[in-house]
Amino acid sequence: AAGGVPLLGSVPFNFDSLATHVGWLLSSLGLHAGPVALALSALAAASLWKDSRRDLAAWALWFSATAGTYILFSSQQMPAVDPEYARAVATRFHLLPLIAIFALAGIGAETLARRVRPVFIYGLLAAVLITPLALRPQTLAQDNPLLDYTRALIRDSGPRDLIVLGGDDTIFASLYLENVQRATGQRVFLCPTMFAFPPYLRRLKNTYPGVLFPPLGPQGLSTDWVLWKKLNPGRAVLAEPSLLPIIQAQFPSSVPQGTLVRIEAASVKTNPAADARRFLEAPEPFSFLRNQSREWTQEVYLLQARKRMAAWLASRLNPKSDQALIARLSLLMAAL
């Protein structure tokens, strides 16, 4: 590994990955704690240095142990895992050292309150509460790219189709659309990661009584989607694009269908240019781009899925006759 030195024999210690994780921690401190909490925690550290170095040492130990231990070990696993996944998991573990920052910020606020007028403290409290909302208004009711992504799966499928899901985001969104909004018709949502979980299997049978399921094997329900099609004639089997590499490896004859992948066992004649236009003319692909996403959320997987789909659509086009479509897909991929 680049920047590595031998550790425990032949295993290299990767300093580049370590630096990346340290940068992620600093980003989390600046974003989730913010300048006010960091300033108050610095004030608390100065105050405790004079009044109670034992308390300061305790919080410093908590911060260094929770941050350092995780960074040390997780950074060395980074070359073997998906960077987007590593970033999301790291942000969740940063909540542990942030406990020390927030505890010190509370001590700092108490120290400050003893030295300034109450009106200043109330003003500071108002700023802490209002500033985040002003910088990023909470409009989840109208602006939810993950929910829009799942609604697109419904739009691009038939009312009785089987839709294979690959990520937590679409699983939760599909449950919401199915059970709360009742907006999925008779579509069947399948989560292969749960195919060996008995309560999930019981839910499938109770929720979709008209669907025939393949017999259970050692790994639960089969993921042979051609078998699912044979058991349920008249229903297409569609997969969200996050599963595209797996589907292409197992079913290379599969074709695009809007924002979905239609699983096929044999070659099917389609119009690649029409497939690309259908994807590009949908409102979702350009509605949420990389510069709008937060790196530690499921939004990055949504962007990955769309970029993967755009690349596949571009690879099916004719470089001579479909130059305009290829250029539009390239522009989209650059923005994702």
- Report the predicted TM-score, pTM, of the whole model to 2 decimal places: 0.75
pLDDT at position 221 is 94
Phi, psi of 4 (to 5 degrees): -100, 155
Instruction: List C-alpha distances in Å: 64 to 3, 17, 95, 100.
Output: 23, 18, 13, 10
C-alpha 297/C-alpha 301 separation (Å) is 8
Reply yes or no on whether the pLDDT at 138 is more than 50. yes
pLDDT at position 213 is 95
Antiparallel, parallel or unpaired: β 162-164 and 11-14: unpaired
Question: In this structure, are residues 163 and 269 in contact, taking their beta carbons and an 8 Å threshold?
Answer: no
Mean pLDDT of 56-63: 95
pLDDT at position 30 is 87
Mean pLDDT of 62-88: 86
pLDDT at position 271 is 96
Structural element, H or E, at residue 237:
strand 237-239
Lowest-pLDDT choice from 53-67, 237-251, 289-303? 289-303
pLDDT at position 7 is 46
Mean pLDDT of 24-33: 89
Kindly give the residue spans of alpha helices, DSSP state H, lying in 80-144.
Answer: 83-93, 95-113, 118-135
C-alpha 23/C-alpha 29 separation (Å) is 10
The band of 141, judged by pLDDT with boundaries at 50, 70 and 90, is low
Mean pLDDT of 243-248: 94
Lowest-pLDDT choice from 33-47, 166-180, 186-200, 292-306? 292-306
Lowest-pLDDT choice from 47-51, 67-71, 75-79? 75-79
The band of 180, judged by pLDDT with boundaries at 50, 70 and 90, is very high
- Give the percent of the chain with pLDDT over 70: 94
Give the relative orientation of helices 299-315 and 323-335 as an angle to the nearest 10 degrees. 160
C-alpha 186/C-alpha 158 separation (Å) is 9
Mean pLDDT of 179-198: 93
Give the relative orientation of helices 145-155 and 299-315 as an angle to the nearest 10 degrees. 40
Give the tens place of pLDDT for each residue, 250-295.
Answer: 999 999 999 999 999 999 899 999 999 999 999 988 888 888 887 7
C-alpha 92/C-alpha 296 separation (Å) is 8
- Mean pLDDT, the chain, rounded, equals 88
